[in-house]
Amino acid sequence: MALSRRNFLRKAATGGAAAAAAACTAVTAAPEANALQRPPKPMPPDAVGLLYDSTLCIGCKACMTACKESNGLPKEINADAQPWNEGTWDSPVELSAKTFNIIKCFTDGAASEKDREKDGFAFIKRQCMHCADPSCVSVCPVSAMTKNATTGIVNYNPDACIGCRYCVLSCPFGVPKYDYDDPFGKIGKCELCSHRLAESKLPACADVCPTGATLFGRSEDLRKEAHRRVALKAGERTEHPRGDIGGTVGGQRPGHEATVHAVYQPHIYGETELGGTQCLAVSAVPFDKLNLPTNVPEYGYPTLSEGIQHTLYAGMVGPAAVFAGLAWLAHRNAKDHPEE
């Protein structure tokens, strides 16, 4: 049977879809055995981040106010509050290009007891997770998103940005946001107050947290502290550090002793999700209730997407084959339709 242009394109599309489906199936079954995946990128040894303890958070939102002041961000008035809010109160309901850090609340039923799943409530802090292998950095075509080789912080350069918004679409945590109100457009996201860290000051959210619910430090130190906490039992007395867990940035700060009032979930969010993140969270309420993505793999998506791209484009063999096929079709069709 003669190969028509339609059949050629149909076969090419079908073959590509089958190959992609096979790759995805292989990754789901055994990601470590998939030859298309590239090795995961390790977290820098001195990477820094945050540990958020939902059981210590009192929902005061001091971290939100400090974040706005530190980053020169304007107030946001949500639509429901506009009839009575004349601009006095900052009332965002989600992360945006003008809100890099937000405290949200889970409630169930009567919401009568803190840190209880049934008829209770719990707080969660949302900001950039600073992934070990970030999707936003992987997809950015102009390197406007970069990961600091020493601190691991994912930074954004508005001067390099072309406004493609690939980072917005690629982030599994829904963090980078595009400012549609800016005529030139730019992305807004937490950069862990890099400008403050350069002056040996704490990130604003950790600096003002009164209970130590947001704790700054080396990611490895924070991971160890998180493991210590999830091993605690209800009724135990324990010390909670504040500021920088290592006491280096911002100086030593006194912690406070408190009684564990709720049993922690036996999981540290961010330790394994998507290859690991530098911002971790512990909670007494399941993380899916706190609107964090839990049905995600333990590898970063770039390990697969970049692996497939590098395989397809290695030596430009794939594109060359497609171009050759299209050129052959064009040549054949030109012979079938001579000029009159």
Domains of the chain: 5-40+302-336 (no CATH), 48-76+87-298 (3.30.70.20)
Among candidate residues 295, 315, 313, the one with its CA nearest the CA of residue 305: 313
Tokens 């961000």: give the residue: 73
- Angle separating helix axes 5-29 and 317-336, nearest 10 degrees: 160
pLDDT of 108: 97
- Angle separating helix axes 317-336 and 301-313, nearest 10 degrees: 50
pLDDT of 226: 98
Rounded distance between C-alpha atoms, residue 135 and residue 166, angstroms: 9
pLDDT of 339: 60
Amino acid 339 reads E
Tokens 């992987």: give the residue: 138
Amino acid 114 reads K
pLDDT of 77: 78
Rg of the Cα trace of the chain? 24
**In Å, how far from its chain's centre is CA 267?**
18
Q: Which residues pair with 240 in a beta bridge?
A: 256
pLDDT of 116: 96
Question: Which residues neighbour 199 within 8 Å (Cβ) at sequence distance 6 or greater?
Answer: none
Give the strand pairing for 120-126 and 102-107.
antiparallel
pLDDT in tens, the chain (340 residues): 455 545 544 554 444 444 444 444 443 443 444 667 899 999 999 999 999 999 999 999 999 999 999 999 998 877 766 676 666 667 799 999 999 999 999 999 999 999 999 999 999 999 999 999 999 999 999 999 999 999 999 999 999 999 999 999 999 999 999 999 888 889 999 999 999 999 999 999 999 999 999 999 999 999 999 999 999 999 999 999 999 999 999 999 999 899 999 999 999 999 999 999 999 999 999 999 999 999 999 999 999 888 777 666 665 666 666 777 787 787 677 766 666 5
pLDDT of 244: 98
pLDDT of 306: 86
Which pair of structure tokens corresponds to residue 290?
């706190």
pLDDT of 118: 97
